[in-house]
Structure 1
Amino acid sequence: MTTKITCAYLTIIVNTVLSNPSLMPVSIPQPEDATLNFTGLGQKYGHEVEEHSVVTEDGYILTVFRIPSKRKTPVMLMHGTSDSSDSYIIRGNRSLAIYLANEGYDVWAVNGRGNHYSRRHVKLDPDTDPEFWDFTFHERGYYDLAATIDYILKITGENGVHSIGHSQGTTNNLVLLSSRPEYNEKVKLFTALAPIAFLDHLVPPISLIAPHGPALNDLISLLPLKLDEIGGSWERNIYKVLCNQGIMSYFLCVLIGLFPGNGYDTKRLEPSFLPIIIGHAPAGDSKKGILHHNQAIISKRFAYYDYGPEKNMKLYGDVTPPDYNLKQITAKVALIVGKNDNLSRVQDVEHLRQLLPNVVEYHLMKQKKWNHLDFVWSNDMPETLFPVIFPLLAKYS
């Protein structure tokens, strides 16, 4: 979700560069960590990494990275919108994936359908079949997480996993546990970093843009560009140009692009880290996924996708889509929230908290400027965030 906000701010600039190839430099020096994939980063920071292919019920082929261990409970990591497993490892020795591995946990980092690691399907071609992109956070939860959990338990012989999600990764978990309640028995603890379900208290600029989402979608549909996919390879290449030009890029891509939608925190996302981010994000997603979040903002509901009265009646038996039944979530849940998070607002997480029947931990980060991105990209997670996460994992293993 965070990277898509950047897309909105940079659309005009991106189109300008696309229409003027002379504006694009031939090559841009990048730090090594910007060029390494999850496997390369894991190896660089001291761990062997396995690459697994998980096939979902509806035919999507997901890449799931594992840093193996037999010492402790498997931990499944799920990324946010237009993101990938890389966000859990690009801080190197200070990242969550490496810290978990160092503590002996069996780490499984998921890549949801449609990101650049998981652009595969048993029948559909993402480059030629629009049907490939016919998904939202619902399918990433209902199918992707379900298939991954079953695969992990089969490979490891364990009876449950720890599930950690960030941003839309939390939405995916909420979808799974509410719509397929049998999976509650397979999750020992669901740790939600910056939970996203209700989006009723957003602030500008998103609160100003969201009401115009349907009209903007109609306008985008008229453009010659193929936009079923958001954050694909051509957009990544443009961002590598725009956001890899020193301090001015930090001003454009972070201060103007990322922070207004996520919350300002320049202390924890320093300029020298930006090239590494751009080496890994955006990672790809569906336009339909944006529309589903936009529906949640406008309707003030956490509900299934709204296809319009006629199709809703065929799919749901009603002219309006049903709410996700959060009372079905019996797994233990930990909600971790930032005071300065412009997406996962404290008031909205409090609403979610009241509806979930088994919240075992609610933690508001003490740092006043802690924002939406800090949960995966902050430079001081070992001192601030991990002391909250790791005791919970130990307690509920």
Structure 2
Amino acid sequence: MRIDIFSFFVLIFISSVDTIDDECYLTVPEIGKRYGYESEVHLVRTKDEYILELHRFPCRNSGIEIQMYFKYSTSSSEKCDKTSKRPIVFMQHGLLADGFSWIPNLANESAGFVFADAGFDVWISNSRGTPASQKHIGYGPENQKFWNFTWQQMSEFDLTASIEYVLGQTKQEFVYYLGHSQGTMMMFARLAEDREFSRKIRHFHALAPVATVSHIGGLFGLFGKQFLTYAEVILGRLPYSPLSIPRTVQKVISYMCSKFLMQNICTLDIGFIDGSEKMFNQSRVGVYLCHTPAATSVKDLQHWIQLVGSQKVAKFDYGVNGNMVEYGQPTPPVYDLTQIDTPTYLYWSRDDILADTQDIRDSILSKMNKTIAASIELPHYSHMDFVFGIKAAIDLYPGIIKTIQDDYDKHRISRMHKLRQFS
């Protein structure tokens, strides 16, 4: 019997599929449970009828004794009291990612787990279009209407609904927001437009912050503006479509990249797009690629390409006629970052070729000088190292944890003092 080469490799993959790391098949809450964390799945309905999944780690690791280096950690024997008041940290992922980007490594190396172990109430977002949030009241992801969105709608609808839901569930007044890449753009846009919403964000911690992207490097920088023009034309022919890799193909890639000889090649391939990742756990590259890239809309990527050309922090450009219909003006509105008054902490690196330092200076520092609480450079971090890098748990997360806990303690003391005055 004759077997073609493709079938041969498929048979090899199927016979070897049990060698793929178990985490390839697990959701964020299931991975948390594997490491001993209690978790919750919450469904949030947005104003435009999307159904989003939020994943919550309300308490620290409850099953395994782990020595933490933060003075704010609770003891492993302490009972998990989900109703106790503690700082809420809301984590928002970036482009072509989902909630997994906050728990990609071992428990003591992943932001979601590290912040939970420090005693915080951790809520992890999954934006519309990601595997966990492919739900809508009127139609499903098989309908083109489902994919008619960009980060603009994620900012306006997803963030608003999610933050309101979290505060309603916890009976608290505010959250501490931790965003990466596109997750920072979403918050910049929301804070610039909605003063009422901004009062619910105590701190904005922006990892690899992105606003304008006119100095972007990587794949875009390598091929230049001509590549962007071609890409926009191609994407324009795929209106309202998902941008994703078939799950089976992703599993094959994950399996191949989990092999020792392929790990460096696979990380080199990732670096071709967004820089040379120096801090990945090479043994987990297969797990990374099993969950990343996550799905988004073609229109979302098209929006980013528009921003490279416009050099502005603007809404989606539908053309003159389309803009008149959508916005009542010939050009898309520009987000005014000077309106932001939420204390903002920037964490950036000169080696990050997507969140370029020149763009950070031009569009963020120059516009938000009065509200930038700190601007911290991380040496030799590439774009994904802020969430996937194993060193982040040593030289990035502890500082953020201390800043948040100190502020929360001051807030509680001030609140108690005011209550005594009126009692």
Instruction: Give the TM-score normalised by the residue count of structure 2.
Output: 0.83
Q: Does 1:119 align with 2:137?
A: no
2:162 is aligned to 148
1:92 is aligned to 106
1:138 is aligned to 152
In 2, Cα distance between equivalents of 1:345 and 1:228 = 29
The higher relative CO (CA closer than 8 Å, separation ≥ 6) is in: 1
Q: 1:276–1:204: structure 2 CA closer, same or farther, 3 Å change rule?
A: closer
> Structure 1 residue 227: deviation in Å?
8.0
Query: Is the contact between residue 191 and residue 198 of structure 2 (CA under 8 Å) also seen in structure 1?
Result: yes
Give the SS at the match of 2:366: helix
Q: Does 1:335 align with 2:346?
A: yes
Q: 1:52–1:232: structure 2 CA closer, same or farther, 3 Å change rule?
A: farther
Q: Does 1:102 align with 2:112?
A: no
Residues 107-135 of structure 1: CA deviation (Å, up to 9, x unaligned): 100100000000000012111x1110011
Query: Is the contact between residue 135 and residue 286 of structure 1 (CA under 8 Å) also seen in structure 2?
Result: yes
1:225-374 equivalences under 5 Å are 228-234=241-247, 236-251=250-265, 253-255=266-268, 257-266=269-278, 268-351=279-362, 352-356=364-368, 357-365=370-378, 367=379, 369-374=380-385
2:55 is aligned to 65
In 2, Cα distance between equivalents of 1:321 and 1:192 = 25
Give the SS at the match of 1:126: coil
Residues 285-325 of structure 1: CA deviation (Å, up to 9, x unaligned): 01111011111111111111000010112222221112111
Aligned Cα RMSD in Å? 2.1
Q: How many residues align?
A: 371
Give the SS at the match of 2:89: strand
Query: Which of 11, 21, 28 is equivalent to 1:38?
Result: 28
Query: Which of 83, 86, 93 is equivalent to 1:79?
Result: 93
In 2, Cα distance between equivalents of 1:103 and 1:208 = 41
Q: 1:376–1:359: structure 2 CA closer, same or farther, 3 Å change rule?
A: same
Residues 223-271 of structure 1: CA deviation (Å, up to 9, x unaligned): 8xx98111244453453355344323531x321x2113322133x1142
Give the SS at the match of 1:279: helix
In 1, Cα distance between equivalents of 2:149 and 2:252 = 25
Query: Is the contact between residue 202 and residue 343 of structure 2 (CA under 8 Å) also seen in structure 1?
Result: yes
In 1, Cα distance between equivalents of 2:112 and 2:359 = 28
In structure 2, stretches of 5+ residues that fail to align are: 59-81, 409-423
1:386 is aligned to 397
Give the SS at the match of 1:163: strand
Give the SS at the match of 1:362: strand
Residue 40 of structure 1 aligns with an amino acid whose one-letter code is E
> Structure 1 residue 92: deviation in Å?
2.6
In 1, Cα distance between equivalents of 2:141 and 2:299 = 14
In 2, Cα distance between equivalents of 1:182 and 1:396 = 21
In 1, Cα distance between equivalents of 2:6 and 2:340 = 51
Residue 57 of structure 1 aligns with an amino acid whose one-letter code is K
1:11 is aligned to none
Farther off after superposition, 287-296 or 200-209: 200-209
Q: Does 1:206 align with 2:217?
A: no
In 1, Cα distance between equivalents of 2:229 and 2:98 = 27
Residues 323-348 of structure 1: CA deviation (Å, up to 9, x unaligned): 11112211111111022101111121
> Structure 1 residue 381: deviation in Å?
1.9
Residues 192-224 of structure 1: CA deviation (Å, up to 9, x unaligned): 00011111222343124462334234346668x
Q: Does 1:174 align with 2:164?
A: no
Q: 1:165–1:33: structure 2 CA closer, same or farther, 3 Å change rule?
A: same
Give the SS at the match of 2:41: strand
Q: 1:232–1:131: structure 2 CA closer, same or farther, 3 Å change rule?
A: farther
In 1, Cα distance between equivalents of 2:340 and 2:241 = 32
> Structure 1 residue 22: deviation in Å?
4.4
Query: Is the contact between residue 213 and residue 291 of structure 1 (CA under 8 Å) also seen in structure 2?
Result: no
Residue 30 of structure 2 aligns with an amino acid whose one-letter code is G
Query: Is the contact between residue 257 and residue 285 of structure 2 (CA under 8 Å) also seen in structure 1?
Result: yes
Q: 1:338–1:154: structure 2 CA closer, same or farther, 3 Å change rule?
A: same
In 1, Cα distance between equivalents of 2:277 and 2:222 = 22
Residue 274 of structure 2 aligns with an amino acid whose one-letter code is N
Give the SS at the match of 2:203: strand
Give the SS at the match of 2:187: helix
Residues 338-373 of structure 1: CA deviation (Å, up to 9, x unaligned): 2210111112112212212411111111x3x21111
Give the SS at the match of 2:137: coil
1:211-230 equivalences under 5 Å are 211=225, 212-219=227-234, 228-230=241-243
2:206 is aligned to 192
Query: Is the contact between residue 33 and residue 90 of structure 1 (CA under 8 Å) also seen in structure 2?
Result: no
Q: 1:288–1:177: structure 2 CA closer, same or farther, 3 Å change rule?
A: same
Give the SS at the match of 1:182: helix
In 2, Cα distance between equivalents of 1:395 and 1:371 = 29
In 1, Cα distance between equivalents of 2:136 and 2:259 = 36
Percent sequence identity over aligned pairs: 28
1:51 is aligned to 41
